[in-house]
Amino acid sequence: MKPNRTLNIILTTYVILIFVFIFSPIIFSMIFSFNSQRFPTIPLGHFSTEWYQKILADPDVWDAARNSLIVSSCTAVIATLLGFCTAYSDYRYNFRFKGPYLALILLPPTIPLIIMALAMLAWFSKIGMSGQIYSIVIAHSVLTAPFAMAVIRLRLSQMDPDLEAAAWNLGGSEWATMRHVIIPFCKPAIFSGLFLTAAVSFDEFAVSWFVSGLNKTLPVLILEIVQGNIDPQVNAIGTFVFLISMTLVVLAQIFFASRQMKSF
């Protein structure tokens, strides 16, 4: 196609604007986290790490960070395991009601979070499991498993359909084949799934807020601080959360890309 100069300029500007809209609040939040003044106003005061020192000294922040870390890492492992099992069952077997089975698995992210959160709360209270750290883990695993399943399923679809049978043919039992062929083949997707689900869980606010009880995660803590007063600590915590999620997403993408390049 012939490159159109005007169209090119318009599209480039459009993309730049989108990035500005998305990232400027975050960048401002980062800038204000190093600002000495209490209120986010311009002109800025001087450079300061006061707010960082404050949050590091705050046991509530440490608790929330610990909770977030536990929740997101447990969620990542459980959700990726669930995602792998469903993706493999879809790849390997044909059965009646496979369509509804897959739809059911992919359902959670399509439900409005607030409804999902309320439903989770109601259900956990009913069976006496609400307000625990593992309640958040369970809720997040349900919510994020479809993401892991999607990446692993994509990887399995790139696999030579004879590969598994070739391993049986060479004397591998079903379990040995799973261990020595299926899992190594899916490894990049499994890592991608781990980081992706960890990132989603680490950021998730609504469900955590409803089911967490006294076990606040970082996003829940941020909301509580903001509700009380204007505190630049929020900017410091926000920067920290943003950097962690970004790292996880980037790692997920790196594994995703390495897998694309080495696809056969």
Partner 1 sequence: MNNALVTFDNVQKNFGKFVAVKELSFEIYEGEFLAIMGPSGCGKTTTLRMLAGLEAPSSGKIHLKSQVMNDVPPHERDTPLVWQSLALFPFLSTRENVEFGLKMRGVDKAERKERALKWLDKVGILDFADREISTLSGGQKQRVALARSLVMEPQILLLDEPLSALDANLVIRMQAVLTNLQRELGITFVYVTHSQSEAFAMADRVIIMSEGEIAQIGKPKDIYREPANQFVAEFVGRNNILSGTVTSLEKSTALISTSSGEFKVPTNSVQLTKGQNTSFVISADLVHISLEKPAGINVVFCKLISEEFVGSMVTLFLEDAEGQEFKVQMQERELSKFDLSGGTEIWLSWDAKSAHVIREY
- Interface with partner 1 (CB under 8 A): 160-163, 165-174, 176, 180-181, 184-185, 187, 262, 264
Minimum distance of partner 1 from residue 167's CB (angstroms): 7
Nearer to partner 1, 163 or 230 (CB): 163
Gap between the Cα atoms of 145 and 138, Å rounded: 11
Contact 221, 61 (CB under 8 A): yes
Gap between the Cα atoms of 28 and 43, Å rounded: 13
Return the beta strands (E) in the chain as ranges: none
Minimum distance of partner 1 from residue 76's CB (angstroms): 23
Nearer to partner 1, 107 or 170 (CB): 170
Minimum distance of partner 1 from residue 257's CB (angstroms): 16
Nearer to partner 1, 86 or 177 (CB): 177
Residue 53 CB-half CA count within 13 A: 5
Contact 30, 235 (CB under 8 A): yes
Minimum distance of partner 1 from residue 196's CB (angstroms): 21
Nearer to partner 1, 5 or 262 (CB): 262
Angle CA(207)–CA(213)–CA(218) in degrees, nearest 5? 65
